Chains A and B, each alone.
Chain A
Amino acid sequence: MILLIFMLLPPSHLKVYDTPNDEGGSITIEWRLSPSETEREFRGYEIYRALTPQGPFEYVDFVMKGKNRYEDKGVKDNKPYYYKVVAVRDDERVESPVAGPGIASPQWFNTGRINVLIFTIIFGFFVIYYIKRAKRDKSLYIRKITGLDAIDDAVGRATEMGRPILFSFGLGALTDVVTIAALSILRRIARKAAEYEVRLIIPNYDPIVMAAAQETVKQAYTEAGRPDLYKENDIMFLTADQFGYAAGVDGIMIREKPGAIFFQGFFFAESLILAETGHSVGAIQIAGTTAITQLPFFIAACDYTMIGEEMYAASAYIDREPQLLGSIKGEDAAKLLIMIIIILTAVIGSIGFFIPQLSSIYEKIVSFFETS
């Protein structure tokens, strides 16, 4: 018994299997932790691999203590591999029994994402159904979005004051959906700016966004019948550095004193630096972002703030095209479905505290919504 306490014990229950839901070339090894793990001198586990149970075994990797799983990504598909795990304490080593064979193979469908597929199909169905319905029935209702309604007033105010308009996309790239939504808001602002003959300044953090903004503004000025007013120089690249960008935009605000400022896109810690400077120059400010951590700053410092989904509804709200309105309606239907599921799950989970059968149903629902 005393001898067992001092002996280094190996990991047990070694399991070797093809890593599920992957593109192949990977085998997962799992084991039950060595009882010697509690000792201070215990370092971890060495993983060894071989093509036959007898060996020769080659060293694969070292895993720190406390871990009981390893993914070997250095294997070939459709070839059997055998593994052993060696517990290491100082210079001492003890091997587990050999386990295997494990054969790696690629999968054609990620079963861990079946729930996402189901919801994608349901959501896609809602959107397409409402788009089709909107084509027939053109009187779809969309609630008032104050931030979007205030655009005309803000542009008008800048015109009356004889000051320019400043528009910022924040630090978003064109790969962010919110930047695409911001472009449709910019188009509306640019059209109004062209009508009222107000200067529109757009300092950029990303050169691709800058190019897209130049195209959008040019298009809007042409639509408004004033292509002569378009100035490419006013839509410029500043820097790809976060606080350098904040400093640059602040400088433009202090020098140009814009009458209206629009913050539309994705923002990080620079949001309040920009919004407070804008407030200090007396501009009317309209913000819109999907960055939840920055929303309170914009709400505190700006006159109007569009929260998350309101930005995505912008193009539908502005253009009132039935197809766009239909997709917003589809979004609402999906939201209703999610709300029903959340409420039902909460009720089942709460009652399940007293009734064990309901508790297991609750566990099943929760595990269904987990993804890999």
Chain B
Amino acid sequence: MKRGVPLIITFVTGVLIIIAFFIPHKPFGNLEQRFLIWYSIVAGFTMLLGIDSLIKYHIRKIRFREKGWGYSIVTVTGIVITLIFGFYSWYAYHTPLALGSPFMWLYTYMIVPLQSTMFALLAFFIASAAYRAFRARTIEATLLLIAAALVMLGRVPLGEALRLKLPAIANWIMEVPQTAAKRGIFIGTYLGAVAMSIRVILGIERTYLST
């Protein structure tokens, strides 16, 4: 019973979505959209589950003085301050998202710079990963190094200034071998996803269900 009901729901939903893809007539036409709206509503409520898990995790760390509990104080304080700012902005500006509201101030001057900082770190990580990947220890790595050097040089003004047809070579690498490899992976991935979906709909794949 505990397994049967979810399997039936999965089967019926899966089959309905497939039918809706081919039948534009009501009520099938916008069925996928409607299911996604339902999912968004459910997902909205599960955010409470997430917040509950987050607060419980950090309160526990603070209570038992676990390793890194100081960071947990910062996290819990951050959650409380954001909530206060959010409710105050809702009360004073009728929406927390109003321009100039304390909540938006917090978002613009604290969250956005923090996000940008994390994103900017990517440049350094790309450099360190590229250094390891491009070490010419094997034939494949050497080919990768040559291709990457040609593409990078072809994409900067220096490559154009050298007049060695580097931009054209870079474009060829990106449009022919790179696209061919990417399409091969695409076909495999999408067929894999379709086969996996068939397995899930037919109830053959049950690893996502517990007993």
Q: A243 touching B118 by the CB < 8 A rule?
A: yes
Q: B207 touching A184 by the CB < 8 A rule?
A: yes
B128 and chain A: residue at smallest CB distance: A276
B164 within 8 A of A: no
Set of chain A residues within 8 Å of B43, measured between Cβ atoms: 173, 206-208
Q: A242 touching B207 by the CB < 8 A rule?
A: no
Q: A246 touching B24 by the CB < 8 A rule?
A: no
B188 within 8 A of A: yes
Q: B207 touching A315 by the CB < 8 A rule?
A: yes
A51 within 8 A of B: no
Chain B 38-64 near chain A by CB (<8 Å), digits 1 or 0: 010011001101110110110010000
A146 within 8 A of B: no
Set of chain A residues within 8 Å of B177, measured between Cβ atoms: none
B137 within 8 A of A: no
Contact of A273 among B22, B49, B118 (CB under 8 A): B118
Question: How far does the Cβ of A48 sit from chain B's closest Cβ, in whole Å?
Answer: 27
CB-contacts of A199-244 with B (<8 A):
204, 206-208, 210-212, 215-216, 218-219, 233, 236-244
Question: How far does the Cβ of B58 sit from chain A's closest Cβ, in whole Å?
Answer: 9
A78 within 8 A of B: no
Q: B204 touching A327 by the CB < 8 A rule?
A: yes
A129 within 8 A of B: no
Question: How far does the Cβ of A340 sit from chain B's closest Cβ, in whole Å?
Answer: 13
Question: How far does the Cβ of A124 sit from chain B's closest Cβ, in whole Å?
Answer: 7
A323 within 8 A of B: yes
Set of chain A residues within 8 Å of B132, measured between Cβ atoms: 300-301
Contacts A106-B24, A210-B53, A255-B68 given; does A331 touch B192 at CB 8 Å: yes
Query: Considering residues B43, B189, B197, which has the most beta carbons from chain A within 10 angstroms of its beta carbon?
Result: B189
Question: How far does the Cβ of A46 sit from chain B's closest Cβ, in whole Å?
Answer: 29
Q: B115 touching A244 by the CB < 8 A rule?
A: yes
Q: A301 touching B129 by the CB < 8 A rule?
A: yes
Contact of B25 among A108, A173, A275 (CB under 8 A): A108
B61 and chain A: residue at smallest CB distance: A233
Set of chain A residues within 8 Å of B57, measured between Cβ atoms: 233, 236-237
Contacts A207-B50, A272-B122, A300-B129 given; does A241 touch B188 at CB 8 Å: no
How far does the alpha carbon of A335 sit from the alpha carbon of B185 in the complex, in Å?
11
Contacts A233-B56, A331-B192 given; does A120 touch B18 at CB 8 Å: yes
Q: A123 touching B194 by the CB < 8 A rule?
A: yes
Q: A23 touching B115 by the CB < 8 A rule?
A: no
Chain A 82-123 near chain B by CB (<8 Å), digits 1 or 0: 000000000000000000000000111110010011001001
Question: How far does the Cβ of B39 sit from chain A's closest Cβ, in whole Å?
Answer: 6
Q: A243 touching B26 by the CB < 8 A rule?
A: no
Set of chain A residues within 8 Å of B198, measured between Cβ atoms: 124, 127, 327
B37 within 8 A of A: no
Report whether over half of chain A's contact residues are helix, strand or loop; otherwise say mixed. helix
Interface size grouping (class) on chain B: 35 or more
Set of chain B residues within 8 Å of A198, measured between Cβ atoms: none
Set of chain B residues within 8 Å of A335, measured between Cβ atoms: 187-188, 191
How far does the alpha carbon of A313 sit from the alpha carbon of B199 in the complex, in Å?
11
Chain A 289-303 near chain B by CB (<8 Å), digits 1 or 0: 010100101011100
How far does the alpha carbon of A331 sit from the alpha carbon of B192 in the complex, in Å?
7
A131 within 8 A of B: yes
Q: A23 touching B125 by the CB < 8 A rule?
A: no
B96 within 8 A of A: no
How far does the alpha carbon of A25 sit from the alpha carbon of B11 in the complex, in Å?
31
Chain A 323-363 near chain B by CB (<8 Å), digits 1 or 0: 11001101100110010000000000000000000000000
Set of chain A residues within 8 Å of B205, measured between Cβ atoms: 180, 184, 315, 324
Q: A244 touching B54 by the CB < 8 A rule?
A: no
A140 within 8 A of B: no
Q: A324 touching B204 by the CB < 8 A rule?
A: yes
A251 within 8 A of B: yes
B171 within 8 A of A: no
Other than A106-B24, A219-B211, A240-B47, give 5 A-B pairs with Cβ distance below 8 A.
A23-B29, A106-B26, A108-B23, A269-B122, A300-B129
Binding site for B on A (CB under 8 A): 21-24, 106-110, 113, 116-117, 120, 123-124, 127, 131, 173-175, 177-178, 180-181, 183-184, 187, 204, 206-208, 210-212, 215-216, 218-219, 233, 236-244, 246-247, 251, 255, 269-270, 272-273, 275-276, 290, 292, 295, 297, 299-301, 307-309, 311-313, 315, 323-324, 327-328, 330-331, 334-335, 338
Binding site for A on B (CB under 8 A): 18, 21-26, 29-30, 39, 42-43, 46-47, 49-51, 53-54, 56-57, 60, 67-68, 71, 111, 114-115, 118-119, 121-122, 125-126, 128-130, 132-133, 182, 185-189, 191-200, 204-205, 207-208, 210-211
